[in-house]
Structure formats: C-alpha cells, structure tokens
Amino acid sequence: MRLTRALPVVTVLCLASALSACSGEDSKGDAATPSARSSAAQPAKQTDCTAKVDLTGDVRASFEGKGFAITQSTSGPPAFYQAAGKGFSISLYAEGNGFKDASAVVTAKKKVTYTTQPGSGDVEVDASGKGGQVDADAAGIKPGSLVHVKASFDC
C-alpha cells in the first residue's frame, strides 16, 4: 500500500524534473531560484480519514477504521480516497481531471474488482479531499457479479 500512496508524489516530482530540464533556458536568473522552481509543480497532499464500509453481495465485509485521501495530484483525479479491510480494499475517485464521473472500486482478496457505474446508485466524492459517500451497486467483470457498497470517508 505504500507504493499506492507514493506513486502520485513520485509522478509529480518526475514531471517537474523533466519540465525543468527541458525548458531551453540556462539556469541563470529568476528561473533558477528555488521559489520559482517549486511554484511550477505542487506535490500531492495526503490526508488521514476515517472510513466506514459495508459490502454485501458477492463480497461480504464490514470495516471501520483508518483510510486516506490524496489531493492536488496533477496526474489523476482531483481527490482519491482509499481504505483496506480484511480481504478487500476500497477506492473512491472524484470527478474531474479527465474522470467524467465519481466512482468507487472494490478489490477483493482474490484480485477480483467491482466498479460502480454511472446511475448505479449514489456516489458523492468531494474533490477537495474532505470525504465521500457511496450507496451503490458495483459490477464485476464476470456477468452477474455484483457487490453493494455502502461506505463513507470523513477527512
């Protein structure tokens, strides 16, 4: 799970390095000052959250505990939330930055993934990282596989 948390930060830092190396200007003057370089790319921000999750259907599980939110990522949705219980993880994605609709994804211990579809219920994910709520069905790849997700994140 540490890789999942670090990936947006590493992506932003690599992008910032590549952009500064290819600017076509020498490193003299204002462009070389630390404040000028750091304002070009803001690192993603991680916030602790409390998550409550109830899954029914093909995956049955309940969880109440810690999760996190990542915001200010330039390479993903405006906010991404995640928590993990015994045998599953849940991720929420906010709308924006190329993500047309807010969504929830449940991954079960056998690497089976279930995803909410537009119109499958209520999926509200705050783009600023304050939290999200889900009360919706999530479909699996196998025809007819379904998990009902009732979850909340408070950050």
Which tens digits make up the pLDDT trace of 103-132?
999 999 878 999 999 989 999 999 999 999
Measured CA to CA, the distance from residue 36 to residue 17 in angstroms comes to: 13
Whole-prediction pTM: 0.73
User: Closest Cα partner for 70 from 4, 152, 151?
Assistant: 4
- Please give the radius of gyration of the chain, using alpha carbons only, rounded to the nearest integer: 18
pLDDT of 98: 87
Q: Which residue has the tokens 């279930």?
A: 114
What mean pLDDT do residues 19-38 have? 40
Is 47 in contact with 71 (CB distance < 8 Å)? yes
Cα 38 from Cα 52, distance rounded (Å):
36
Cα separation, 155 vs 144, in Å, equals 34
Q: How does residue 40 score in pLDDT terms, banded at 50, 70 and 90?
A: low
